[in-house]
Amino acid sequence: MANIKLTDLALRDAHQSLFATRMVTADMLPICDKLDKVGYFALEAWGGATFDTAMRFLNEDPWDRLRKLKSALPNTPIMMLLRGQNLLGYRHYADDVVTKFVEAAAKNGVGIFRIFDALNDPRNFKTAIEAAKKTGKHIQAAISYATTPFHTREKYVELAKEYEKIGANSLAIKDMAGLLKPYEAYELVKALKKAISIPIEIHSHSTTGMSVAALAKAAEAGAEILDTVISPLAMGTSHSPTETMVEIFKGTEYDTGLDTNLLLEIAAYFREIKKNYKKFESGFLGADTRILVSQVPGGMLSNMEGQLKEQGALDKLDDVLKEIPLVQKDFGYPSLVTPTSQIVGIQAVLNVLQGRYVNLTAESKDLLAGKYGACPAPKNPALVKKALEALKLEKEVTYRPADDIPPEFEKLEAEVKKLLGTDTPSVEDVLSYAMFPKIAPDFFKKRSQGPVVFKPEPDAPSAPAPAGKNEAAKYVVNVNGANYNVVVAPAGTVITAGVAAGAAPAPEAAAGVPSGGGTVVPAPVAGTIIRYAVDEGGNVAAGETVIIIESMKMELEIKATAGGKVHFLVSAGAKVTARQPVAEIG
């Protein structure tokens, strides 16, 4: 075995893990020329959470990013991370949307499709692999790695054979939480090498501090490709440093042959760029060994922090980390990778904030009902029953979940035509809308304003800039060496969450004030009102759903706290804070 190949993750997973996926294209392009000269196996640069974040926070067209990267990287394949039948969203899509998406991604610049499924259910790969085959691009099937009693070496080998059989050109072990122990990596790769003949790539996060050793042992066992990140964006919840791995193998039979001086020039660039994103940085930068028990992957950890912050409950992080493995077990041991990481994570947050399973999110119900595919282990039967009842289903879904979904591209296209006022919307716009129907319309409206620009933040403010009338000013306050972001605004100003990136949308409806005559229904969590579940002025019984709210990317029902006539205090689209009154009953 010789010449280990490397895939650098700087443009996707690294910033997704370290600073909430906020890197803008403008910070990527200036270094592409050098990145393209290194001789990487691939640059992972698209997919995962980047698509969502680009539209949601950066006012950037993700397709435009892909095209720009492709023309700036003529010699290095761009790898994208695709969640099988989920694509980049949080639900299963119809086969026609999956096929169109893969075609468009290939056309716009993706050279390698890394496809995975959170449940390791090969039925969820079928359509994406078939579509990718037609494009002639490289297909990499990724196994979501976990260390539950139901994720065994034998099971992984079985899956690898299956993926090779259905047409994968290479196989990845996707270790989201840094749980792959070096000696297990060796044994696993040895076992895989005996069973399959396609190349093996190892993706192992640094969260627990084991990744450098795991990659080295995997190489020894015969893995041909390793995932690394240029050093300023390495370690913590990210990955092993590229230069370090190059140096470890230098002069051995595994020598990567990469130019360390060129890598150092690239590192110098990212060291500067990183300063732009200080405010988004994950608090977990060293080795976090709690994860050896909780199994919470890097991206999920920084997401959990952000979401608890939004709920004003950051002090509950430890409780949530303890709750996650319990929910994972109840849900049949899905591995904690998107979207199941989010589904399990947010259910754990709700369990901690509101009591265990007082509220199941819509996504939790679907997962329990089998709508995401087969979970590795049996689920908590009481919860399955609760989910089936709520969904009015007689029994769990046991066929390929997407078989249930009728073609939907044309319907989505018609909606985009209306939205954009054109008869010829681009396929890419339709797909953006398909992925994120709540985000895309807003993004389309603001797209022409161009992407947000991030600048380095000073460590401490010199003189506060004067705020305009009724405008909130943002300051960084340094207390005992720690920086705190604070917002200062005149009394009566509405301060919206998410002040960090770009313009936070103002609440579309002014908060209504309860008359005082009825029972107030508070929002259990901060979020965005999606729709009313009953008509204004209608009668509801206690416990009946009155409002659907989107919180932390999950859908949640808000229930009536009493019976009577309902009067809504917020409109659809309004952003609400935790405990804000949303309706009054009586």
Query: Is residue 231 within 8 Å of 267, Cβ to Cβ?
Result: yes
Smaller CB distance to Co ion: residue 229 or 570? 229
Residue at token pair 């989201």: 176
Smaller CB distance to Co ion: residue 122 or 178? 178
CB of 433 vs Co ion, minimal distance in Å: 26
> Closest Cα to residue 122, out of 154, 94, 163, 76?
163
Cα angle vertex 427, ends 425, 431, to 5°?
A: 110
Which H or E run includes 301?
helix 298-310
DSSP 127: H
DSSP 241: B
Residue type, 187: E
Question: DSSP string covering 448-462, please?
Answer: GG------PPPSS-S
Query: Is residue 519 within 8 Å of 562, Cβ to Cβ?
Result: yes
Each residue 2-31 as x (binds Co ion by CB under 5 A) or -, in order, gives: -----------x------------------
User: What b/e string do you get for 87-104 counting C-beta neighbours within 10 Å, with b at 16 or more?
Assistant: bbbbbbbbbbbbbbbbbb
CB of 553 vs Co ion, minimal distance in Å: 18
Smaller CB distance to Co ion: residue 237 or 551? 237
Task: Using DSSP bridges, classify how beta strands 575-576 and 78-82 pair: parallel, antiparallel or unpaired.
Answer: unpaired
Question: DSSP string covering 365-388, please?
Answer: HHHHTTTT---SS---HHHHHHHH
CB of 204 vs Co ion, minimal distance in Å: 9
Collapsed DSSP state (helix, strand, coil) of residue 290: coil
Q: Which two tokens stand for residue 512?
A: 């209504």
Smaller CB distance to Co ion: residue 47 or 401? 47
Smaller CB distance to Co ion: residue 116 or 331? 116
Each residue 66-95 as x (binds Co ion by CB under 5 A) or -, in order, gives: ------------------------------
Smaller CB distance to Co ion: residue 127 or 341? 341
CA distance 24 to 8: 17
CB of 12 vs Co ion, minimal distance in Å: 8
Going from the C-alpha of 106 to that of each of 79, 132, 389, 456, 585, the distances in angstroms are: 10, 8, 41, 34, 53
Residue at token pair 């046991």: 398
CB of 299 vs Co ion, minimal distance in Å: 7
CA distance 244 to 82: 28
Q: Which two tokens stand for residue 303?
A: 């997401």
Collapsed DSSP state (helix, strand, coil) of residue 184: helix
Count residues contacting Co ion (CB under 5 A)?
1
Going from the C-alpha of 200 to that of each of 74, 239, 254, 453, 480, the distances in angstroms are: 24, 17, 14, 38, 48
Smaller CB distance to Co ion: residue 201 or 557? 201
Each residue 306-345 as x (binds Co ion by CB under 5 A) or -, in order, gives: ----------------------------------------
CB of 469 vs Co ion, minimal distance in Å: 45
Beta bridge pairs of residue 200:
171
CB of 297 vs Co ion, minimal distance in Å: 7
Query: Is residue 40 within 8 Å of 263, Cβ to Cβ?
Result: no
CB of 143 vs Co ion, minimal distance in Å: 13
CB of 174 vs Co ion, minimal distance in Å: 7
CB of 176 vs Co ion, minimal distance in Å: 5
CA distance 171 to 161: 10
Q: Which two tokens stand for residue 344?
A: 């399990």
Smaller CB distance to Co ion: residue 339 or 425? 339
Smaller CB distance to Co ion: residue 42 or 574? 42
Point out the residue whose Cβ comes nearest to Co ion.
13
CA distance 456 to 468: 23
CB of 13 vs Co ion, minimal distance in Å: 4
Smaller CB distance to Co ion: residue 13 or 428? 13
CB of 307 vs Co ion, minimal distance in Å: 19
Site for Co ion in 499-538 (CB under 5 A): none
Smaller CB distance to Co ion: residue 114 or 137? 114
CA distance 298 to 203: 12
> Closest Cα to residue 497, out of 551, 461, 537?
551
Smaller CB distance to Co ion: residue 297 or 502? 297
CB of 28 vs Co ion, minimal distance in Å: 18
CB of 168 vs Co ion, minimal distance in Å: 18
Q: Is 557 in the site for Co ion (CB under 5 A)?
A: no
Each residue 349-388 as x (binds Co ion by CB under 5 A) or -, in order, gives: ----------------------------------------
Going from the C-alpha of 462 to that of each of 79, 458, 484, the distances in angstroms are: 43, 9, 15
Q: Which two tokens stand for residue 126?
A: 């079928």
Smaller CB distance to Co ion: residue 127 or 204? 204
Binding site for Co ion (CB under 5 A): 13
